Each structure stands twice: as structure tokens, then as C-alpha cells.
Amino acid sequence: MQHGKYRFIVGFLAAPLALYAVFVIWPFVQSIYYSFTDWTGLSPEFKMVGFDNYSRMLKDDIFWKSLQHSVLLVLLLPLVTLGLALFFAFMLNVGGRRRKNAAVSGVRGSAFYKIAYFFPQVLSIVIVSLLFQFAFNPSDGMLNSTFKAIGLESIQPDWLGDPKLALYCVMAVLVWSTVGFFVVLFSAGMASIPRDFYEAALLDGASRFTTFFRITLPLLWDTVQSGWVYMGILALGVEAFTSVQVMTVGPGGPDYSTTVLPLYVYQTAFRDGQAGYATTIGVGLLIVTMAFAAIVMRLGRRERLEF
């Protein structure tokens, strides 16, 4: 067994590790270094400026605005998405009563619902964003023409053009596209909860409310928690960037009302030619991400339930 073992290990690890180091690890380390420089990204020359970028960031209004939006996304998106998904999953798996002589079962047609709800998850966020950009179009989009058709002509919001509404529109799209994933994920989790628990609760006369909060949620907590982290990373990362970049005017507008941290990093680096400062904002984003994960882990820590 030992013959040629190390040669094999090195041979098999070399290519993946090299690729990973060059394209992921190295840029990541470099970005922290660049955050202390005044590099424009356009010329190869730059010098160290110490913490200048960091103090500039703390005085940057747009940075604070995008931070605020990112934090809002991180708080609201998981709450709405996971809340809806839990409700749907509970209805689909435990909500039905007295069918096939089983104490607990899903409502009728739950298999169909699961297939349909998961649909948006396979579509790219670009396609979803483009679709909804049109739906939100104030003059002839799907939403406003529906309002017109059912006689609510007075309600014609400007959706993505309204600074108060725009970010919530983006959020709605992200919820729309991710709820189905969690419905399926939570369904799988609920399926592994022993039926006896539900039957016992039913015998005790527990309502659906009690059943959900006393049995389903505590036993599903681990899955909910990892879903929470996943949703948060999505809200701070690529998905939020893409939907804001594709859907909103500017992008990030109107009047910076939808700019999120990753978008601001992108614009500072590739539009404004301030690569050094952009990586500083990126470090800010990293800190927010880490803090978020740490908080969720800490808040979510509970006694492990074994079954």
C-alpha cells in the first residue's frame, strides 16, 4: 500500500491545488494588501498609504448607504424567505390531516407544489432579473397593467424608479427565486422527523400551531440555521450584486437607493478606476459577512436534539 504513496498524493493534488491557489487564494491575499495602497488599477505604479483608504471609507456616504442596504437585505431576506418556506413546507408535509389513514401527511397535491416551487431555482438570476425588470416596468409592465385590468388604475407605482420601493422590489425577486429551494430542503428535513412524534402530539390534542413550534421547528433547527447562513451570504454576495446590477437604473439607483456593498466594490474598481479603494470596501464586506455568520451561529446555538 505504501509503495509510491507520496508520489501519488503529490501528483493528484498538484493540479487542483495550483489552480485554486493562483485563482482563489492568491487574489484573496492580494486584495487585503491592495486595500492599503492607492492603486488605480490602470497603471502598474502605486504606493502604500497605510489606513488612508479605511478612514476614507468611514467618511464615505455611499459606503454607508450600501452597507445599510446590505444589512437590511441580510436581516429581511432570510426572515421572509425562510419564514415563507417553513410555512409552505409545513403545509406540504404535515399540514394535511386524515388522509390514507395516516395521522400526518401533506395536503393534496403536495408533490406538484414542490416541483413548481423549485422551478425558479434552476433559472439564472440574470434571467429572473430581466424578467422582473419588465414586470416592474411602470408604463406597460405586467404588474401595473394587471392593476389597470382589475380596475385599480389609481395604483400605478413607479416600482424600480421609486427610491422608496426599488430595494424592496429587488428583495421580492430574490425571495421569489429562492423560496422553492428551501421548501424542498425543509421538506426533506421534515420527512426525517419520526411520525410517532406527530401522532403523539395529535393524541394530546395539539393544534397545528403547537405541532409546528413544539416539534417541527426545534427538530429542524440545524437546517434552518444553515439556510439562514446561506441566505445571508447570498444577500451579501453574488446574487444581490447580479439582481441589483441587472434590474436597477444606474445601476444602484435611483439615487443610490439600491446600491449594495458588492456592487459598490465592483463600480469603484472597474468604473471609477480605484482598485485600491475598492478592495478596502471589499474588506469591509468581508467583515460584515464574517460578523453575520458568527452572529447567526451564536444566536442559533441550542441544545442539539437527537432523534
Partner 1 sequence: MKTTDTPPAPPAPEAEHTPPARRPASGGKEKSGEGKILNVFSHGVLIIWAILVVMPLLWAIMASFKTDDSILSTPWKLPDKLHFENWSRAWTQAHMSDYFFNTILVVGGSLIGTLLLGSMAAYVLARFDFPGNRFLYYLFIGGMSFPIILALVPLFFVMNNMGLLNSVHGLILVYIAYSLPFTVFFLTSFFKTLPGSVAEAAMIDGASHSRTFFQVMLPMAKPGLISVGIFNFLGQWNQYMLPTVLNTDPNNRVLSQGLVELATSQGYKGDWSGLFAGLVMAMLPVLAAYIIFQRQVVAGLTAGAVK
Q: How big is the site for partner 1, counted in residues (CB under 8 A)?
A: 119
Q: Peptide bond before 251: cis, by omega within 30 degrees of 0? A: yes
Stretch that binds partner 1, among 52-60, 74-82, 84-92, 157-165 (CB under 8 A): 84-92
Cross-strand bridge partners of residue 102: 99
**211: number of CA atoms within 13 Å, CB side?**
26
How far apart (Å, rounded) are the C-alpha atoms in residues 62 and 83? Answer: 31
Subset of 244-263 contacting partner 1 (CB under 8 A): 245-246, 262
Stretch that binds partner 1, among 60-68, 151-159, 163-171, 278-286 (CB under 8 A): 278-286
Of 215, 189, 180, 182, nearest to 103 by C-alpha is 215
| Residue choice 48, 58, 79, 200 for contact with partner 1 (CB under 8 A) | 200
299 in contact with partner 1 (CB under 8 A): no
Stretch that binds partner 1, among 55-63, 72-80, 152-160, 228-236 (CB under 8 A): 228-236
Residue 91: in which H helix or E strand, if any?
Answer: none
Subset of 2-21 contacting partner 1 (CB under 8 A): 4-6, 8-9, 11-13, 15-17, 19-20
Residue whose CB is less far from partner 1, 79 or 305: 305
Residue whose CB is less far from partner 1, 116 or 155: 116
DSSP assignments along 78-130, one per residue: HHHHHHHHHHHHHIIIIIEEEETTEEEEPPTTHHHHHHHHHHHHHS-HHHHHH
Instruction: Give long-range contacts, CB 8 A cutoff, 24+ apart: 98-101.
Output: none
| 94 to 133: interface string for partner 1, x by CB under 8 A | -xxxx--xxx---xx---xx-xxxxxxxxxxxxx--xxxx
Instruction: Tell me the residue type at 204.
Output: D
> For residue 46, what is its C-alpha cell?
502605486
| 24 to 63: interface string for partner 1, x by CB under 8 A | xxxxx-xx--x------x----------------------
Q: Is 294 exposed, middle or buried (0-12, 13-18, 19+ CB in 10 A)?
A: exposed
221 in contact with partner 1 (CB under 8 A): no
Q: How far is the CB of 214 from partner 1 (least distance, A)?
A: 5
Strands (DSSP E) found in the chain? 96-99, 102-105
| Residue choice 45, 47, 203, 298 for contact with partner 1 (CB under 8 A) | 203
Stretch that binds partner 1, among 56-64, 73-81, 158-166, 203-211 (CB under 8 A): 203-211
152 in contact with partner 1 (CB under 8 A): no
> For residue 124, what is its C-alpha cell?
439564472
147 in contact with partner 1 (CB under 8 A): no
